[in-house]
Amino acid sequence: MDKVGIVGYYQVQPSLNLNMGRYEMIFNTVRGALDSVGLKRKDVTSVVSATNDYYDGRTISNCFTVEAGGAYLKDESKVEMDGAYAVYYGLLRALSGHHKLVLVWGGSMPSCFPYSSSTLLSTDPTFERPLEIINDLTAGGLQMRAYMNKFDVPAEDIAQVAVKNHKNAAKNTSSLPESRMPDISTETVLNSDVLSSPVTELMYSQPCDAAACILLAPEQQALKIRDDPVWITGVGYSQETYYLGDRDLSRSQSMQDAAQMAFRMAGVKDAKKEIDVAELYEHFSHEELIFAEALGFCDPGQGPSLSTEISGGIPINPSGGGMSGNAPCATGIIRLIEAIKQITGEAKGYQVKDVQRAIASGQNGFCAQTNMLFVLEGGSK
């Protein structure tokens, strides 16, 4: 694969109730990304956005973001999934040879709509919806129970992941302020409100308002814009069955397939040795363990024994991951931005030492039905 460079990025500070409108939030994000490398709107040749009609409360929601999203008289189109999928389509456009600079943005405002209620509308209308018992939270509960039971993992081990991520979020200045908990303990996590047994409130990535934007350019163009772009060297994408009952919830086959595809493309043979840091989009704490196992960092069921702290053997989510604020449609892009920060050494306070190669993931659907994985590398060429 030809290389595509990420030349600029910007992220709006997440908040539970952002003090601006959607239009303004998107403008700030897109303008911020262009300003981060001193480019103008006329340099952008293509735009891909990630929003959702249900989250926006209007059909064809990208028609109102044309001006704020920098898409006026450009070939803009929308992905109604996580931002990571918008990055994937932006990557394809950059690789097509027709575009010099692709702008990708995604974001939403859960303070304006009931997030968990909106997930009811993604359930199966024949088998699940008439019962009114399944939404994203109960699906997470089923998944955590299946994982705990299959591998005899105690709830304390999963709470430990939440503790690590909330502590990391406290070091990250671009995390959701409510998620920063430097003094959190496993007891606090286990004793917080139960969302859907055994998932508790602090094991759940809280939906928040935010938007994020990155700029992609093909190799030669990227080197003209800056000396040290971060390169996308591998990408993988896979999805599982829609109906929850058809899946083995204790593992993630789609992440395993996505990782195989991305690692083969990037020439990674031993993930554990060759990946320096991982930024994974986990909706619930237990998903981080399931993903770590699917990525080949350890054998199935051995996730809790991994050393994933910032100074550990394989640091996972030094920024806090999904726990540091989950902005629907933007979290995948934010994970990419955090991985870029680790490579360029901009992650002040939560920097992992000597990062050459990082991975970032995005997910969509109940219990991470689809997964997207990017392999990012530093170095001028």
In the complex, the residues that contact other proteins under the rule CB under 8 A are 54, 121, 125-128, 130-131, 133-134, 138, 140-146, 149, 194, 196-199, 241, 243-246, 249
| Residue 94 DSSP SS3 | helix
Smallest distance from other proteins to CB 367, Å: 11
Closer to other proteins by Cβ: residue 53 or 75: 53
Closer to other proteins by Cβ: residue 142 or 261: 142
**45 CB-contact burial (10 Å; exposed 0-12 / middle 13-18 / buried 19+):** middle
Closer to other proteins by Cβ: residue 123 or 317: 123
Smallest distance from other proteins to CB 158, Å: 14
Smallest distance from other proteins to CB 240, Å: 9
Task: Give residue for tokens 């009609």.
Answer: 53
Which uninterrupted H or E stretch holds 231? strand 230-239
Q: What is the DSSP letter of 230?
A: E
Smallest distance from other proteins to CB 60, Å: 15
Smallest distance from other proteins to CB 244, Å: 6
C-alpha distances out from residue 378 to 197, 310, 318, Å? 42, 19, 18
Smallest distance from other proteins to CB 49, Å: 22
Closer to other proteins by Cβ: residue 76 or 287: 287
Q: Please report how the helices 253-266 and 285-294 are oriented relative to each other, as an axis angle in degrees rounded to 10.
A: 50
Closer to other proteins by Cβ: residue 33 or 158: 158
- Alpha helices, H only, the chain: 22-36, 53-56, 83-95, 115-119, 136-151, 155-171, 186-191, 219-225, 253-266, 271-274, 285-294, 331-344
Closer to other proteins by Cβ: residue 146 or 373: 146
Which uninterrupted H or E stretch holds 107? strand 102-108
Contact 157/304 with Cβ under 8 angstroms? yes
